Every structure is written in structure tokens, then in C-alpha cells.
Amino acid sequence: MQLRLKIVLLTILPLLLAMSALGTLVVHRADRLAEQQAVLIEDSLYRAKQAELQHYVQLALTAIDPLYRSGRSDAATQEQAKRILSGISYGDDGYFFAYDLAGKNLVHPRKPELVGRNLWDLTDPHGRHVIRSLLNKARHGGGFQRYEWEKPTTRKMSEKLGYVVLLERWGWMIGTGVYLDDVERAIRASRDKARANVHATLWDIAAVALGAVLLVFAGGLALNVSEQRVADKKLKVLAQRLVNSQEQERARVSRELHDGISQLLVSTKFQFELVQHKLESGGLDVQEALNKGLAGLTEALGEVRRVSHDLRPSALDMLGLSAALGQLASEFEQRTGTRVVVGNRLGDLVLPDLEAVALFRIAQEAFTNIERHAGAKSVALELGCVDRTIRLAITDDGCGFDVEDVSRSTTGGIGLHNIRERVEHLGGTLVLTSTSAGTLLEVTLPLRSEEAHHAS
């Protein structure tokens, strides 16, 4: 082969391979970021729906509170309460329902034919016992339940999130629900937009690749000694352009992830403010509850921004695992006021990056769960190395939870599932015990001695 052709081929082939690899990497990273974005959107919308339902049920309880607090339980009083609940609605599909503890419907303004019927054995298209599950939530202090129910405006079955509470003296379960069509649409739109961005990026990469190939080919046709030097210089420029293109694409995807979620949450905040305005116009004293909801939403916005910039724990790279965990505990103590005792017996041992990141993420998840759910007054964190095994133990004196129930749940316990997957991936063991006196999370990982070393 002529030298000219050899140089052209040696230039074009690596360029095409690099572009192909770059395109594959962009697709893979974009798909993963799109899925993470969808999960975050679903979680934020789901939490917003839960807060919305709690406010609505509180509104209904406020409406019948004078009757319930009167101490009367006669039929006339209860009939008056039923009329009040039947007359309250919100939006196009929002209404309140009531059942007795045997499953008999007492109030249903959108389907009056159900009033008086016992729906204990009613199931949705997925086989879920709707009324039975709602009553179980109410008996345990109230809670949320997902099921399918006919949507009044469309007359079609649709996924719904219900929230119920128990009026113990009357033996009533009162609740309401919101349909989740908008959540599904938002997630679907997010995925569609991510796919469109990936396609546009691939076309851009293809255009850059085509232009680069044509440029190299044209230079090869007029090759001489001086042109060879110019070609070498151009190849270096192209290589740098590839690196810059890759970094710019990563920055763009990260920026869109951050701005998109933030704008979505801001939009949701405006909706709450609109609800606040409507309720204020009605003269109902729900100002304090709405203000708390808005404050929580504002805090969620700050959390999303923090997570978007926390793709890699910089403290771990700069300070090492022991110092990073100490900083994490200190920030948690300052933020929540909960006392944290750190016991570090790892010394100056530097762990492999994979194990260090995994333990740091596990500790982050544990502190997040304690802050959100435990109501603990003190937390203890212990880190040490025993018999070529790294041990991390986090103990709190909070209210505890049912470990088996959370492990079996399909809608909760995501953080616990993530911890289990991290530990199993590294060949370690996880021990989680919880009682009303507190919770213990203990993780042990085998130490890869060939990668671990002592700090100099």
C-alpha cells in the first residue's frame, strides 16, 4: 500500500472507532442518567401526592370535627357528617369516601349506588383487595395505599393513591385519593426527552465524524513532507476536540438533569401556592399546614441540587474514608441536633476505592433513613478492621421498624435494597436488626490486602 493510503487508513479507522466508542458511551450514560432522573421525578411527585392527600383529609376532618368532638354517636349526627363529606370535593376527580370497619360503604358522592354495600372482598384488576387494604392502613394509624379505581371523568380504571384515617369512636374509615396518570405522563415525557437528546447527540457525533473523515481524506490526497507535518498537527487537534466533546456532553447531561428536576419541583411548589390561595379564599384555617408543606418542598429542592452535585464524594478522595465518615457524622449532628458518637479503629489504613466508596454510600443512606424515620436522640458509628475484614456498624436509639415488612415492600425500602446490592457485589455480609428500642446496621466486607495500604 502507498504511504499516503496507509496514513489515511491509520487516521480514519481509529477516528471512526473512537467516534463509535464515544457514541456507545454517550448512549449508555444517557440511558442511565435518564433512568435515575425518572426515579427522582417519580419519587418527588409521589411525595408531593402524599402531602397533598394528607392536607385534603385534614380538611375533611376539620369539616366534621365539631360533630365528632361533640361526643354524640347517634344516627342523626352521623348522617349529618355523611352529608358534609359528600358535599366536599376538589378538582375534577377529587372526593371523600367513608367505610365502617366491616367494609360497608357509608359515603361515596361519585358512586352513590355503592352506599350501603359491603365491599370487603372487592379487588382491583391486579387482584389487590382495595377496601381490606385501606382498612388495615387505617387500623394501624392511617396511611397510604395504591390500587386501581374507576376515574370519574374518563370512566376507565386508573392507578390511584389513597390515604385513610380512622375515627375510632364511630368505627369509621375516612379517606380520599388522587389518580396517578400525571405521574406516569411525567415519567414517560422524561424518558422520551432523554431519548430525543441521545438521538440528537448521536447525529452531532456522526456529523463531526464525517467532517473529520473528509478533512483527513482531503489532506491525504495532497500528502507531502510539509503536509505530513500539518496532518500530524491536525490529528492532535482532533484528539483534543474529541476529549472536549466528551466532557461537554457530560456537563450538558448533568446540567439538564439538575435544571429539569428543579423546574419540575418549582412548578409543583406553585401548584401548592395555588391551593393555598384557594383555601385562604374559603376562609379555612389551613395556613400553618400549607406553610409546612411549602417549607418541606423548598427543602426538597435544595436536596435535589445537592444530590446533582454529589455524583462523587469529594471528601472521600481528599480525606480518606475515616475522615469522610467523621465529616459526614459531624454534618448530620449539626443539621439535626442528634448526638453522634464516632468510633474509628481503622487507623491509617487506606482502603481500595471500591470498598471505600461503598461504605461511604452505605453510611450516607443510613444517616438519611435515621433523619427521616427514626426520631433518634443519639447515633453511634463504628469503623474498624478485624481479621482481614472491614466492619461498619451504625446504631441508633430511634423508634425502629419491621425489617421483614420493609424488605418485602415493593414501594418502599429502596435505600435498604441499594445497601444490600452494594454489600453483595463486594462479597460482604449485611446484618440489620430493629426493635422499638433502636436499630443496628452492621456491614462487613472482605479486605483485599493487595490493594489496601497504610497512609505514609
> What CATH code is carried by the domain that includes residue 428?
3.30.565.10
The domain boundary residue, chosen from 274, 296, 311: 311
The predicted structure's pLDDT at residue 309: 43
Query: Is 322 found in the same domain as 304?
Result: no
b vs e for 342-363, b when ≥16 Cβ sit within 10 Å of the residue's Cβ?
beeebeebbbbeebbbbbbebb
Query: Is 398 found in the same domain as 434?
Result: yes
Asked whether the predicted pLDDT for residue 311 surpasses 90, the reply is: no
The domain boundary residue, chosen from 311, 328, 358: 311
105/220: higher pLDDT: 105
Query: Is 95 found in the same domain as 46?
Result: yes
The predicted structure's pLDDT at residue 206: 79
The predicted structure's pLDDT at residue 368: 85
- Residue corresponding to grid cell 352506599: 115
53/293: higher pLDDT: 53
Q: What is the mean pLDDT of the chain?
A: 79
The predicted structure's pLDDT at residue 252: 47
pTM for this entry: 0.41
What is the number of domains present in the chain?
2
Query: Is 274 found in the same domain as 136?
Result: yes
126/225: higher pLDDT: 126
Of the candidates 353, 356, 343, 418, which has an alpha carbon nearest to the alpha carbon of residue 384? Answer: 343
CB 166 within 8 A of CB 172: yes
C-alpha cell at 392: 461498619
The predicted structure's pLDDT at residue 371: 87
The predicted structure's pLDDT at residue 249: 45
Half-sphere exposure of 297 (CA within 13 A, CB side): 28
The 10s digit of each residue's pLDDT in 11-49 is 777 777 877 888 788 778 878 887 888 788 888 888 999
Count of residues in the chain: 456
Asked whether the predicted pLDDT for residue 330 surpasses 60, the reply is: yes
Asked whether the predicted pLDDT for residue 404 surpasses 70, the reply is: yes
Written as one letter, the residue type at 397 is D
Average pLDDT over residues 200-211: 79
Asked whether the predicted pLDDT for residue 290 surpasses 70, the reply is: no
Query: Is 176 found in the same domain as 214?
Result: yes
Query: Is 231 found in the same domain as 135?
Result: yes
Element (DSSP H or E) covering residue 176:
strand 172-179
Phi, psi (rounded to 5 degrees) for 296 = -65, -40
The predicted structure's pLDDT at residue 253: 47
Query: Is 402 found in the same domain as 303?
Result: no
Element (DSSP H or E) covering residue 350:
strand 349-350
Asked whether the predicted pLDDT for residue 5 surpasses 90, the reply is: no
CATH number for the domain harbouring residue 115: 3.30.450.20
Average pLDDT over residues 157-178: 93
The 10s digit of each residue's pLDDT in 62-74 is 999 999 988 888 9
Phi, psi (rounded to 5 degrees) for 21 = -65, -40
Domain coverage including residue 345: 313-454
Residue 369 neighbours by CB distance under 10 Å: 21
Query: Is 382 found in the same domain as 323?
Result: yes
Average pLDDT over residues 83-92: 90
